[in-house]
Structure 1
Protein backbone atom coordinates (compact mmCIF):
# COMPACT_ATOMS: atom_id res chain seq x y z
CA UNK A 1 0.00 0.00 0.00
CA UNK A 2 2.69 2.47 1.04
CA UNK A 3 4.89 1.46 -1.90
CA UNK A 4 2.03 2.02 -4.33
CA UNK A 5 1.37 5.41 -2.75
CA UNK A 6 5.06 6.33 -3.02
CA UNK A 7 5.09 5.33 -6.68
CA UNK A 8 1.95 7.39 -7.33
CA UNK A 9 3.55 10.37 -5.56
CA UNK A 10 6.72 9.99 -7.61
CA UNK A 11 4.73 9.86 -10.85
CA UNK A 12 2.70 12.89 -9.81
CA UNK A 13 5.89 14.73 -8.88
CA UNK A 14 7.46 13.82 -12.23
CA UNK A 15 4.41 15.14 -14.08
CA UNK A 16 4.37 18.28 -11.97
CA UNK A 17 8.09 18.94 -12.42
CA UNK A 18 7.73 18.36 -16.16
CA UNK A 19 4.95 20.94 -16.37
CA UNK A 20 6.82 23.32 -14.07
CA UNK A 21 9.95 22.92 -16.20
CA UNK A 22 7.92 23.60 -19.33
CA UNK A 23 6.40 26.75 -17.81
CA UNK A 24 9.79 27.85 -16.50
CA UNK A 25 11.36 27.35 -19.93
CA UNK A 26 8.53 29.27 -21.59
CA UNK A 27 8.93 32.16 -19.13
CA UNK A 28 12.71 32.17 -19.72
CA UNK A 29 12.27 32.27 -23.49
CA UNK A 30 9.68 35.04 -23.31
CA UNK A 31 11.89 36.99 -20.90
CA UNK A 32 14.85 36.61 -23.26
CA UNK A 33 12.79 37.77 -26.25
CA UNK A 34 11.56 40.79 -24.29
CA UNK A 35 15.10 41.58 -23.14
CA UNK A 36 16.25 41.60 -26.78
CA UNK A 37 13.20 43.03 -28.54
CA UNK A 38 11.73 45.07 -25.67
CA UNK A 39 13.92 48.19 -25.87
CA UNK A 40 13.48 48.48 -29.65
CA UNK A 41 9.72 48.00 -29.41
CA UNK A 42 9.57 50.53 -26.57
CA UNK A 43 11.50 53.10 -28.64
CA UNK A 44 9.25 52.65 -31.67
CA UNK A 45 6.18 52.76 -29.39
CA UNK A 46 7.34 56.01 -27.79
CA UNK A 47 8.17 57.38 -31.24
CA UNK A 48 4.68 56.53 -32.51
CA UNK A 49 3.06 58.09 -29.42
CA UNK A 50 4.98 61.35 -29.88
CA UNK A 51 4.13 61.34 -33.60
CA UNK A 52 0.42 61.00 -32.81
CA UNK A 53 0.61 63.76 -30.23
CA UNK A 54 2.29 66.09 -32.74
CA UNK A 55 -0.42 65.37 -35.30
CA UNK A 56 -3.14 66.40 -32.84
Structure 2
Protein backbone atom coordinates (compact mmCIF):
# COMPACT_ATOMS: atom_id res chain seq x y z
CA UNK A 1 0.00 0.00 0.00
CA UNK A 2 1.43 3.36 -1.04
CA UNK A 3 0.30 5.00 2.21
CA UNK A 4 2.16 2.62 4.54
CA UNK A 5 5.54 4.28 4.74
CA UNK A 6 8.03 5.33 7.35
CA UNK A 7 10.30 8.28 6.90
CA UNK A 8 13.51 8.26 8.93
CA UNK A 9 15.31 11.56 9.10
CA UNK A 10 19.01 11.92 9.84
CA UNK A 11 20.48 14.25 12.42
CA UNK A 12 21.39 17.72 11.21
CA UNK A 13 25.11 17.37 11.91
CA UNK A 14 25.99 13.71 11.61
CA UNK A 15 23.27 12.47 9.30
CA UNK A 16 21.79 9.03 9.79
CA UNK A 17 23.41 6.14 11.63
CA UNK A 18 25.00 3.85 9.01
CA UNK A 19 23.40 0.68 10.39
CA UNK A 20 19.97 2.30 10.32
CA UNK A 21 20.55 3.64 6.81
CA UNK A 22 21.41 0.13 5.58
CA UNK A 23 18.00 -1.09 6.80
CA UNK A 24 16.17 1.50 4.67
CA UNK A 25 14.77 0.48 1.28
CA UNK A 26 15.42 3.91 -0.22
CA UNK A 27 17.56 6.89 0.69
CA UNK A 28 16.97 10.37 -0.67
CA UNK A 29 18.72 13.70 -0.34
CA UNK A 30 17.71 17.26 -1.14
CA UNK A 31 20.14 19.00 -3.49
CA UNK A 32 21.21 22.43 -2.33
CA UNK A 33 22.21 25.62 -4.06
CA UNK A 34 25.42 26.01 -2.09
CA UNK A 35 24.13 29.17 -0.40
CA UNK A 36 23.77 27.30 2.90
CA UNK A 37 25.54 24.20 4.20
CA UNK A 38 22.36 22.21 4.85
CA UNK A 39 18.69 22.38 5.77
CA UNK A 40 17.68 21.73 9.35
CA UNK A 41 15.74 18.52 9.89
CA UNK A 42 12.38 20.31 10.25
CA UNK A 43 12.85 22.12 6.92
CA UNK A 44 14.03 18.95 5.19
CA UNK A 45 10.99 17.07 6.52
CA UNK A 46 8.68 19.81 5.24
CA UNK A 47 10.25 19.61 1.77
CA UNK A 48 10.00 15.80 1.72
CA UNK A 49 6.37 15.66 2.85
CA UNK A 50 5.34 18.50 0.54
CA UNK A 51 6.88 16.67 -2.42
CA UNK A 52 5.22 13.38 -1.43
CA UNK A 53 1.82 15.05 -0.97
CA UNK A 54 2.11 16.82 -4.32
CA UNK A 55 2.67 13.49 -6.05
CA UNK A 56 0.07 11.50 -4.11
CA UNK A 57 -2.81 13.88 -3.33
CA UNK A 58 -6.17 12.61 -4.42
TM-score (norm 1): 0.33
State the structure with bigger RCO (CA 8 A, min sep 6), 1 or 2. 2
TM-score (norm 2): 0.32
**Which structure is larger by alpha-carbon Rg, 1 or 2?**
1
